[in-house]
């Protein structure tokens, strides 16, 4: 069974088909958040701290950390800001981190300071990216998100996206990186623009699981981009992609409706043994307005965590705020 191990300094998480769904908190990302970007540029990390603590309290298994505040000289500005952000976040929480950047220098700087075994987000099928990122993944012995686009862009043909994913897995193996350390993002398309986007990704996930035997992730809220009541679509999408084989997602854990869907899918998928996490979370719940259960702060919703672990980009775009 494919297992991808990520870790903080004190906590190890396993991403896998036989593990609870891994929720990667998306909030520490200034993309589309002008206020957060301005704060980070000024050296103000109050919102970063708030987002880190709230996401873990809400049940995030991991946290994605992005510091892409500007397109102006990112090779110079982003590495030190990402390092500072990572240091702050890993000093606050014990969950593993995902180092999220399209700037190679920033990823390498982040890998130097990150504790444990972080996830690199990401590499694409572009030759330049493959040659820049895969050697770093090998050097630091970390897993990486493989996004299924290349120099031709994002194909609307799921067979092409599968071929790109296969190419990345094969090139990674050329570098000595095992498939279990590749987490493929098959690229979820907005259902409002592409009517068969759901069916496409379900079929892709099955192929990725059965043929490449890799773990998978996505920017979950991409599916609902442009639609009203996005969280309803997202919540419906979650158990369906889990059933098709997806093992993690970059999403907002502070949305109770979506986290309910994750926890319920874990129960029904047999990865919440004896319904323990569900019972601990909801046994004392009170229905909120709209009928959704309100859960107290709980341990991470998924990912097969255990203490005492090793001390060691594109796909998360359209967040539902």
Q: Which residues of 49-85 are buried (b: 16+ CB within 10 A; e: fewer)?
A: bebbeebbebbbbbbbbbbbbeeeebeebbbebbbbb
pLDDT of residue 301: 63
Segment 119-152, tens digit of pLDDT:
999 999 999 999 999 999 999 999 999 999 999 9
The residue assigned the tokens 């982040």 is: 110
What's the CA gap between 21 and 100, in Å, rounded?
20
DSSP labels, 176-213? T--GGGEEEE--PPPTTT-TTHHHHHHHHHHHIIIII-
Task: Give CA–CA dist 32/21, Å, rounded.
Answer: 26
Q: Can you list the domains of the chain with their CATH numbers?
A: 3-272 (3.20.20.20)
Q: What's the rounded Cα separation, in Å, for the pair 238 and 260?
A: 10
Residue 197: name the closest of 229, 225, 232 by CA.
225
pLDDT at 312 over 70: no
- DSSP one-letter code for 23: E
What tokens were used for 137?
């993944």
Environment class of residue 310 by beta-carbon count within 10 Å: exposed (0-12), middle (13-18) or buried (19+)? middle
Q: List, for residues 144-170, the tens digit of each pLDDT value.
A: 999 999 999 999 999 999 999 999 999
Q: How far apart are CA 212 and CA 148, in angstroms?
A: 13
pLDDT digits (tens, 9 = 90+) for 29-68: 999 999 999 999 999 999 999 999 999 999 999 999 999 9
């Amino acid at each position: 069974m494919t297992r991808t191990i990520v870790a903080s300094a004190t906590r190890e998480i396993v991403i896998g088909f036989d593990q609870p769904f891994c929720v990667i908190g998306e909030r520490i990302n200034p993309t589309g958040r002008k206020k957060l970007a301005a704060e980070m540029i000024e050296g103000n990390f109050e919102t970063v701290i708030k987002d880190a603590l709230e996401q873990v309290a809400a049940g995030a298994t991991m946290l994605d950390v992005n510091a892409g505040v500007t397109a102006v000289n990112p090779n110079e500005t982003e590495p030190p800001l990402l390092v500072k952000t990572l240091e702050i976040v890993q000093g606050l929480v014990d969950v593993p981190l995902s180092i999220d950047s399209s700037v190679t220098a920033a990823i390498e700087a982040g890998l130097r300071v990150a504790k444990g075994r972080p996830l690199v987000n990401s590499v694409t099928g572009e030759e330049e990216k493959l040659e820049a990122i895969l050697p770093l993944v090998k050097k630091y012995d970390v897993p990486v998100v493989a996004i299924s686009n290349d120099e031709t862009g994002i194909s609307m043909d799921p067979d092409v996206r599968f071929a790109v994913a296969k190419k990345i897995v094969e090139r990674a193996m050329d570098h000595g990186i095992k498939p279990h350390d590749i987490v493929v993002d098959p690229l979820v398309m907005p259902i409002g623009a592409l009517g068969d986007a759901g069916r496409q990704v379900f079929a892709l996930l099955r192929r990725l699981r059965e043929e490449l035997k890799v773990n998978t992730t996505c920017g979950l809220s991409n599916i609902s981009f442009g639609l009203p009541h996005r969280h309803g679509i997202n919540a419906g999408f979650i158990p369906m992609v889990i059933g098709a084989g997806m093992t993690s997602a970059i999403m907002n854990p502070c949305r109770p409706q979506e986290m309910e869907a994750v926890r319920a899918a874990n129960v029904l998928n047999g990865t919440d043994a004896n319904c323990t996490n569900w019972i601990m979370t909801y046994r004392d719940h009170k229905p909120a307005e709209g009928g959704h259960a309100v859960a107290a702060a709980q341990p991470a919703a998924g990912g097969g965590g255990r203490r005492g672990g090793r001390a060691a980009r594109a796909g998360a775009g359209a967040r539902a705020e």
